[in-house]
Every structure is written in C-alpha cells, then in structure tokens.
Structure 1
C-alpha cells in the first residue's frame, strides 16, 4: 500500500516536472552549481589540510650530516695557527757592520755625528758632511753607526781597524762585506715580518663570521625579509640567497636555524637551539642561535692546529657536496642542506613532502666552481699560511748567510789588526787553542753573545749550556806582536812563542829584546766585542 501510494504520488508529480521545460532547466543548473561549489569546498579543505600537515620543520637530525661537514671547516677557522719558527734578529751584527761601513766610506760624517746633540739634528744641518751622505737608506745606517761608535770609539782595537781601513785593499774589503751584511740584515727583517699568521687569521675570522657572543650581528646584509630571500631559491633564481656563502655563521643558520615555520630545534643534532625563533627580517635572535651552533661544532672538533692542507681538504669536500644535486632527479645543484621535490618553494625551512627545505643556495655557478664566499676566503687563508712558512724558511737561510758574512768581516778586522801589530802567522796560529778555550769556557748565552767578534752561541734559544764556540778565523785573540828575531846581548833568533801566554802581564814580560819601537817582544791584542774587551 505504501509503495503503491508512493508510485501514485510520483505519477502525479511527473506531469508538473516535464510540463515546464524552463523550470526544469533552472533547477538542474542550480543543482550543478551546488554540487560544483561543494566539491570545490571539499577540495580546498583537503588542500588546506595537506598544506597544514606538510608545512612543518625538518625532523630531528635531518641536517646533522651537513652540520658535521660545515663543522669541519668552522673548527679550522676557529682553530690554533702555529707561528712559524723564526731565526733571531742580529742587531749587534748589523750595528757593527754599519759602524765599519761608515768608518771606511765616510769617516768625516761619523765624527760629525759624535756630538752632544742628537745625530738626527746633525744630519738635518745642510752644512754638514753627514747631511750629504746620510740620506734615504743610508740615514738608518748612519744612525746605527753613530750609536755603535759612541761605545767603541775609545777601544784600541777599533782605532787599529779604523787606521788600517784607509789602506785601499782593506777599505774595499770592509766596504764590500759590510754592504752585503746590511743588505742581508734588511732582507732578514723583511722576511721575519712576512713570516706571520696574522693575515691568515684575519681571513679565517672573516670566513667564520661574527663573534659568537650572543649579541653581535650575524650579517651586515639588510633586507633579508624572510628565510627564502635570505637563504636562496634554487629553482626560481640564478642568484644566491642574500646571506648565502657570506660566512659559516650565515650558512649554518640557513641550514639549522629555528623560526616560526621551522620549529625543529634539533635539525642539526647534536645542536639544540633552545633560543627564541629567528626573525629573518630583522635577524633578531640569530646571534643566540649562532652561539649555540658554534659551541656544538667545537664539541665535534678534533682539530689541534689549523694547517693549509687541512683547510684545502675541508673546502674541497664541502664544494663537492654542494655540487651533488638534491630534490627530484637531483636537479638542484650548488646548495647544502635538505632541499625537497622541485625546490620551487626555495630554502624556506620546510621538511619532506614539500618543495622547500632547510637549506642554503649559492646561486648559479656561472662558470665558477662555487659562489661560496667563505670557502674562497679560507682558501686565501691557506695561501697566506704557505707564504708565511716560505718566508720563515728563507729567513733561516738569510740568518745563516748573515752569520757567514759576519765571520768574514771578523776575519778581515782581525787580519787588519794583526797586520798593524806586525803579527806573524805562526804566532797567530799558536794561539788558536787558547782562543777556543776562552769561548768554550762560557756557558751563558748572554756572555757568549757579548764576545761577538770572537765567540758564537750555537744553542739557539737556550740560555745556558756548552754552546759557545770560536767563530770566524780561529784563534786570533792572543796574537803575537813581536817577530821573534834575535836581539843584541845574546838573544836567540828563534820564535819567542808568544802564543803560550794566557794573560796580558805575562805576555808583556816575555823574554828577549823587543824590536825597535816596540816595548816588548810580544803584544796582547784585545778584540772588539761591541761592549767590552775580551
């Protein structure tokens, strides 16, 4: 009954539904619109749900591998630089060479400088000889000579050498060797200044980024606006992110930083960013996160000393990683971190399932291996370390050359003094063991170095020890002044063996008759040491 009744009702309605075609059409159209709008609403709701589900940060540890890789570079940038081993300066050798140079070349100017007024005042007077000869580089030589002259001018030995320096042969020999010494000393000083890690340290500091004190700005770049603008958009732009590659600090914040969208504090585990979220427009809170990241990096470090080779190895590894490719079909290149899908969303901090990621994009290579600024800076630092090492090696060579030249100058001075005293070669040679003994008896570096024309300290930086040896021509400290020729009154003609005497008094009392004009058969010769007589 009910079914028939319903059919009856249905049959009664049918004529009205087909009797007016216009009404039917309007109703169908309305039904279609309602269904279409409903479908769109459902679709939008679904899309919104999907978006809300996927727009979250990376998972814990997603970027730990990249963090570890960048940490290797960061720990090198903050590591210890070993200063090159350098030879000591030789101011005494240089000063003595300056004195003998001016003594032989311009003795008149040297005497002018020995006044109560400062040497520079004399040099500045246009009427003086010193004004004409002590110019440019020679001015420094004159000033060093004047200072040394005040100490040595009353020494008998200096007077003897100064007198003999007027002889053409001796004058030329002293002039030549002193010029070589002064040039070598200048070269040594220059190389010592170049053999430093200061330049490399400045470059490494730049590559690292600002001090991780929790307050210093992490970037000088303004207008970062948002994370994608700051860190880069690999798919839609050939340009790098505004702060990408600027420093290791900037790149680590792009890869690990926590913000309102990327909320995972341990994306770069073991780093745990407890600090407040970064505002990418103002970069507020970035300094605190940078400090946390640096501390976590340093805990991973095994670096004790930063070397040029270690820097190059770390940078090479990072550049290779950046070029591997990420996203769909590995199509996204020259970036680090986690980039997903097509990369169309850029380095916005989103995680898997999106087309973004917590990453840093360095832009199109444009024919260059990389646009990673801090990497290029670290390679420059490696070059600076190599230059410093090379300069140190050359400095040691120049120091050896300087000591050799000083021995030659010592020999020339000794020969001049011996010639003035008419010392015979046999007597000079006989004193060699005693001279050696004099030097070897000295066990303190300071005392040995005082005997600059006789002894040489071979102990490097050591202050004590049996490291004092005779230098230059061996044994001319106790040379004979007499010739040993026979004298009237029955004196023999054999060599008086002046070398047997070990002190001035015994030397002066040597038997036999002295030569005409001499007070004794033997004469005691004291060498100049720059401060006192030996």
Structure 2
C-alpha cells in the first residue's frame, strides 16, 4: 500500500505544481477563461431587440385625424388644398409674423390627413367605418363637440410618442449591435472573418508584439477586444513544443510563432480558436442580465499579484505566450492610473454600455407600447361617438317639449304676465315696465288700466328665433378660433360652439 502511494506521488506533485501560481503553464490551465470568452462571442451573435416602432401608433392617430378632418368645415380644409402646377400642399407659414408652435407641429399631420382623404377609395370610407351619418348641421356639431377633445388628446399622445422615439435613437438595434461587435472583434472588424493583422494592431492600442498586446512586468496590456484576449490566453508559442502545447483547448491549430517582434499568424490563430468555441443554441433576444453575468464571471478570475494583476497563467517576466513566462493578460497596478486600466478594459466597458442601452431600450419600448395602447383606446372612443350622438338625440326627443307644449307654455307665461301687469293701477308704475306693458288711457272702452303689450311680446319671440338661427350659422362659418370664441359668448343655452381643427 505504501509502495502504491509512493508510485502515485510524482503524479500528485505534477498536478499540484500546475495549480500553484508561478508554475509552468500546462494543458487546461486557461480552459475556463476560454469558455468565458467563447460565451461572449456567442452573445455577440444573438438577436438584438429593437425598440418598439411608431407605425402602429401612427396608424391609429392618422385614423383619428382623417375622421376629424372629415367633419371640419370646408373653409378650414381649404388651407391644406393642393396648389400650383405641382399640386403640392402648402407648408406651414406663421400668421402675422407670429409662429404658432402647436399649429407648426400639427401641420404635417393635417396635410397628411387631407392627402389620404383625397386618395381614399371609396370616398367617405373613413366616415362609413366610424358609422357617421350626419344629415344636418346640428348633428354635425354634436358629433364635432365630442370628437374634438378626443382629437386634442390624440395630438398630445402622438407628440409624446414622437419625442420619446426620437430620444430612443441611441438605443437602436444597430447601435447596440455595433457596440457588441466592437467588444468582440474591434471597431474595424464587424465580423470574425474581417479580422486581419492590421485590424489587431489598430484596434488594440497599436500593439505590434505579443508582449505589448498582452502585457508584461514593464507595461500593461493593450488588448482591447475579446479576440485579442482569446489570442493572449489561448494561442500557443513557438518555444513550447513548436507551438504544440495547448492550455485552453486541445484541438486548436499549432501556432509556431514567438511574436516577439511582430504578430504574424495572430489573425489565423484567433479565427481557429473562435472556431473551436461551443455553439450557443439560444435564439432569444439578448438581455442586459446575460451581458452583466458574462462580464462578472470573467472579471472574477483576475489574479492579484503585487503591482501586476493578471488573467491566465503567469510565471515570470510577462505574457509573452511562453509557458515558462506567461500565457496571460497582465495589467500594471503600481499606480492609480495603471490600476484603473484593469477595471476599465475596453471590451468590458462596451459590454456594460450594451447592458445599459438594452435596459433603457426596454423602458422606452414599454412607454411607447403604453402610449400606443392609449391611442388605440382613443380611436375606439372616437369611433363610438355615433352611438352617443344618437342616444343624445333620442333623449332630447323624449325630454324636449312638443310644439303644442311650447305654445301652451308661451300662452301660460303671457297669461301670468297679463295678470301681473293688470294689477298695476298707477300709470307711472306701468310706464316704468315699458315696453313689456302699456298704459291704456281714458278713451279706451274699459277705462284707464295697465296691460301686457302683446305686440312687443310677439316681436321679442320672433327676434329670439332669428338670433338662434343666426348664431348657429355663425358657429359653422367662423374661420378662425378668435371668431369662434366671439360667437361662443352669445350662443343659445341649448347650443355649443367650439373651434374644430
């Protein structure tokens, strides 16, 4: 038993030696780092979510605008008519030198609505879809009175959507994808196949040797991409069995280069190593949580060493790739400035920016989706106005007095007034209430007395009727908000006037 233990002792010592910092690099030493880097490369190929678009919201808003324009007066709609030989619709122009920001913002939507209404087939399709049947002016005004507030709310919601969407351009799929490929391959190589020796130099601080790229005791690493890290931590070295030693994956190509004066063969080695990475079967869109977990997993493997923290396997001198020195990425930590580099690795910072943008994109998408749902509800509310108008008209029919009832009511009022004035027995008091009443003198058949002036009452009733008809007509003929506002002060109690955009 003792002899068997002694026989196994050299093997145990070899294993322990490979696990002790400072020991020569051995097969599998950097395998976990290789897998971590492969995971990042896999994430770089995953679908990137896109921020919610505005096309659906624009469709709902456009329907409301077309609906509103269909009910507006011809005078209002003439502002957007095609003019000139080119049949172009007019652009917004300030009135009297004063720019109206609201009108300016909405002008394109108004002209767009007119454009679609003109091309609409069959004509009147929008009104038909809304169940709109407005044979008289009163019904049209009732419809507009309820539609206009909805259109105003829709304008405000759409303006918020457009502002939010413009602000979210920084979180677009393309910009997030660029950050991912910058992290993985470098700014000058959008894919693995585009990596060349010149790209490696340009995208990694101008490093032209392996020690400059990966770091050494004298200077920290310039490696700024996952691809460069893959080379530093996994590529073989010419002094180790002619490049035959494999510290990360057993079946990658032999790299029989020292790279002490150049980076010859680096691009081929990177592509070969990346080709040995596992295939990520996930097809779901990339998430911020996945990115942050990948960064934390890799960063946790940083080895502390006085003045020079490193990833990988280090023995002495630096990360030349030789097993006797180091297959690693090293950062100087002897000063605050140098130490910051170890915590601000460019590809890591790019990934963290991706995570941040993905979260902001998701928040913006949720807001846009909620606003779109609000517009959809407003469209439904607008298209339900017809039922409300019909119900209002039915209630009005049931509660409004008939012509006979109006006549009876009028006669009753006249009778009450007649009785009231006939109790007056003084001429001076009666004359104070003229022209509603009049004083009859001695020459009258029934002597001196005060009575209701029937002629004046009839004239008042006629004038009232004419005023209602004239005011209602003015409501529909007003050409701007100011004229409409002027009408509003004198409209009958059972009417409404409002400026309709």
TM-score of the aligned structures, taking structure 2 as reference length: 0.59
1:208 aligned to 184, 194, 204, which one? 184
Structure 1 residue 178, shift from structure 2 partner: 0.7
Structure 1 residue 357, shift from structure 2 partner: 0.4
Structure 1 residue 100, shift from structure 2 partner: 4.8
Pairing 1:82-481 to 2, within 5 Å after superposition:
82-83=49-50, 89-101=56-68, 108-115=75-82, 120-123=88-91, 136-150=104-118, 151=120, 152=123, 160=134, 163=137, 167=141, 171=144, 173-188=146-161, 194=168, 196-209=172-185, 210=189, 211-213=191-193, 216=196, 217-220=199-202, 221=204, 223-233=206-216, 235-237=217-219, 240-242=220-222, 244=223, 246-261=224-239, 263-264=243-244, 266-274=246-254, 277=257, 279=259, 281-299=261-279, 301=280, 303-305=282-284, 306-322=286-302, 324-325=303-304, 330-331=305-306, 333-340=308-315, 343=316, 345-351=317-323, 354=324, 356-364=325-333, 366=337, 368=340, 370-412=343-385, 414-416=387-389, 418=390, 423-424=393-394
d(CA) in 1 for partners of 2:271 and 2:54? 40
Indicate how the Cα distance of structure 1 residues 315 and 124 shifts in structure 2: closer, same or farther if over 3 A, else same. Answer: closer
Structure 1 residue 298, shift from structure 2 partner: 3.2
Report if the CA contact (8 A) 2:260-2:320 is conserved: no
Higher RCO (C-alpha under 8 Å, 6+ residues apart): 2
d(CA) in 2 for partners of 1:408 and 1:87? 20
Structure 1 residue 79, shift from structure 2 partner: 2.7
Report if the CA contact (8 A) 2:154-2:378 is conserved: yes
RMSD: 4.3
Unmatched 5+ residue regions in structure 1? 1-55, 429-482, 486-534
d(CA) in 2 for partners of 1:161 and 1:278? 91
For residues 437-478 of structure 1, give each alpha carbon's deviation from its aligned partner in whole angstroms, at most 9, with x where no partner exists: xxxxxxxxxxxxxxxxxxxxxxxxxxxxxxxxxxxxxxxxxx
Indicate how the Cα distance of structure 1 residues 139 and 280 shifts in structure 2: closer, same or farther if over 3 A, else same. Answer: farther
- Greater per-residue helix proportion: 2
For residues 360-385 of structure 1, give each alpha carbon's deviation from its aligned partner in whole angstroms, at most 9, with x where no partner exists: 12343647470211111111111122
SS in 1 for 2:200: coil
Indicate how the Cα distance of structure 1 residues 153 and 251 shifts in structure 2: closer, same or farther if over 3 A, else same. Answer: same
d(CA) in 1 for partners of 2:177 and 2:268? 24
Structure 1 residue 318, shift from structure 2 partner: 1.5
Unmatched 5+ residue regions in structure 2? 1-22, 403-501
